[in-house]
Amino acid sequence: MTQADVKVAFVSNLNGTTLTEVSLGSVLAPLCVLNRGLCLILHHLCKGVLPFTWPVHLFLDFTLVIFPLVVSCTVLSDVLHFVIMGLAVFDFALLCLVYWNKKLPSQAPLHKVVKNFLESNAQAGLVPFVTVFRVLINAKTAISILAVDFAVFPRRYAKTETYGTGVMDFGVGAYVVANALVSPEARWKEVHGSKMRHIVKQLLSVWPLVLLGFVRLVSVKSTGYHEHVSEYGVHWNFFFTLAIVRVMASAFLTVFPVRGSWLLALLIGGLYQVALETTELKSFLVRSGERAGFLQANKEGLFSVVGYIAIYIASVQVGHYLMQVRTLVKDWIRAIRNLLFGSFVLWMALYICQMYIEPVSRRMANLPFCIWTLAQSLFFLTCLGTADVVLLFSKTLSSFSLVSSSWNPAKTDKFGAAQTEGKLRRDMDRLCLLQAVNRNQLLFFLLANLMTGLTNIIVDTVESDHFFAVCVLLSYMFMNSLVIFILHIKNITIKFW
């Protein structure tokens, strides 16, 4: 066997992990983000000066957010629940320290402080936990696409062959969710003028994804880079899927109201599942053997697009709900509670589907996969939203709002004070790794793909020991972060259209 064949076999015929273990990952990342924010607040309460120099901020964000994500899916994957419990206890201790050192009147009882907080205003016009969701999905994807080639990455986390729930399976669906949450339709942007012109505009706007798809196709075929064809097919890749999903979903939503788009998503996903159950489509998709002709060669990529369209359209409705104007903290808590309730309903629906229809299949993007992706995404958003509310509470206690990528208390400062704090906030935003990745998300994803390819050419990933693998992964993520961070502090945005 060639080295490419060995690497393909290394990521083939896998069955995934449990739903619970995938959900644990959705708890870890919010705790890391909360930990970062609380550390900055405590530094301020201890009379520390902010901002730091840019290398210190980069090192701090990388250590508190990226480093735990890398080690939790590698050397600490078997004790992930202990890692989460330890982080939760540590964050709770930090929160207690913030409360004991609060700037509010010391005699105010806790229930009074909480009541006043619930009736207070959060900074309007922002949904920071949606931004953090998109950044963390990108970061986790970057880690996984290289880590999967090392033995230190558990095989149960990798993409499944036909049925199952791997961490990377969720990552694929979550990437579609992340794009939909900030789509024009989700942000309440109405179509003006001809609907056909709008569709044509959307068709033209995805040319970078199509181009990147062809670049990846040519580079993979010309270099003999290992590829698992049962993921998307011989010529298809995820860039093509993203482009088709964006155009088709926009076309559907020009004629179907966004407020009821979950019904359209259910219709599309349901009809696709009916086709899988009542025709030869399912056996065609899972059957191995000769791949003659374009349709048979790329059957997984072509037909799974239907499921991803359903995920995208349903996620547009979630984004549309979250982008509603809310000012009171209690209104946002109610919205986060509704996300959790929606996730619970979808988990129940998934249980029924797996009992009476079939298990989750990313390869086909069947109805259970669509439901699982949405349920898990809503749960992840709930955790991030909860962490954001806790961080806002800490900001209120400390009268300190210079923590990026989170809500700020709405204030009515004097003009001079507001102007000074506004400058400090901009400086802190400029020195935030999460904001840096958010600024150039597609470039971050492309850079991760490029460096993954280079690493696989240079390093024998399958035979690498665990310590060396983790060092490579941390170096790889640090280089990605450094490039994106420098672009951000230089105020450079790389757009491809």
Domain coordinates of the chain in residue numbers?
Answer: 3-489
Amino acid residing at 438: N
Q: How confident is the model at residue 126 (pLDDT cuts 50, 70, 90)?
A: confident
Measured CA to CA, the distance from residue 449 to residue 408 in angstroms comes to: 35
Q: What is the pLDDT of residue 18?
A: 94
Mean pLDDT for all residues in the chain: 91
DSSP string, 392-445: HHHHHHHT----SSS--B-----HHHHHHHHHHHHHHHHT-HHHHHHHTHHHHH
pLDDT in tens, 247-260: 999 999 988 888 88
pLDDT of residue 417: 47
Give me the pLDDT at residue 337, please. Answer: 97
DSSP element (H, E) containing 39: helix 19-45
pLDDT the model gives residue 40: 95
Q: Mean per-residue pLDDT for 232-258?
A: 92
CA distance 381 to 181: 11
Distance of alpha carbon 76 from alpha carbon 73, whole angstroms:
6
Average pLDDT over residues 408-428: 67
Q: What is the 3 state secondary structure string of 295-358?
A: HHHCHHHHHHHHHHHHHHHHHHHHHHHHCCCCCEHHHHHHHHHHHHHHHHHHHHHHHHHHHHCC
Mean pLDDT of 138-167: 95
Scan for tokens 């025709």, then name that residue.
279
Tokens representing 7?
A: 């690497």
Residue 401's pLDDT band (cuts 50, 70, 90): confident
What the block records as the tokens of 310 is: 């359903």
- Joined together, the tokens standing for residue 279 give 């025709």
Q: By three-state DSSP, how is residue 43 classified? A: helix
> Which pLDDT value is given to residue 416?
46
What's the average model confidence in pLDDT over 207-231? Answer: 87
Of the listed ranges 128-132, 218-222, 438-442, 470-474, the least confidently predicted one is 218-222
In 184-298, alpha helices (H): 195-205, 207-223, 229-232, 238-255, 261-278, 281-286, 293-297
Q: Name the amino acid, one letter, at 356.
A: Y
For residues 76-85, give the mean pLDDT: 96
Local structure of 152: helix, strand or coil:
coil
pLDDT of 304-349, one tens digit each? 999 999 999 999 999 999 999 898 999 999 999 999 999 999 999 9
**Residue appearing with tokens 């996984």:** 144
Whether a cis peptide bond, with omega within 30° of 0, leads into 409 is no
Q: What is the dihedral of CA 21, 23, 25, 31, to 10 degrees?
A: -130
**Mean pLDDT for the stretch of residues 96-122:** 83
d(CA 396, CA 411): 10
Give the pLDDT mean for 449-458: 92
> 491: alpha, beta or left, given left = phi > 0 and alpha = psi -120 to 50?
left
Which residues lie closer than 8 Å to 85 by C-beta, 6 or more apart?
none
Say what the pLDDT of residue 415 is. Answer: 45
| Average pLDDT over every residue of 275-294 | 90
Environment class of 266 (CB within 10 Å of its CB; exposed 0-12, middle 13-18, buried 19+)? middle
Both tokens of residue 74?
A: 């590698």
Distance, CA of 466 to CA of 151 (rounded, Å): 7
**Environment class of 495 (CB within 10 Å of its CB; exposed 0-12, middle 13-18, buried 19+):** exposed
According to the model, what pLDDT value does residue 413 have? Answer: 52
Q: What percent of the chain lies above the pLDDT cut of 70?
A: 96
Whose tokens are 């607040």? That residue is 41
pLDDT at 411 (0 to 100): 63
HEC readout, 75-100 = CCHHHHHHHHHHHHHHHHHHHHHHHH
Cα–Cα distance, 158 to 390 (Å, whole number): 33
Statement: residue 106 has pLDDT above 80: no
pLDDT at residue 412 is higher than 60 = no
What sign does the CA torsion over 158, 145, 388, 403 have?
positive
pLDDT for 24 beyond 80: yes
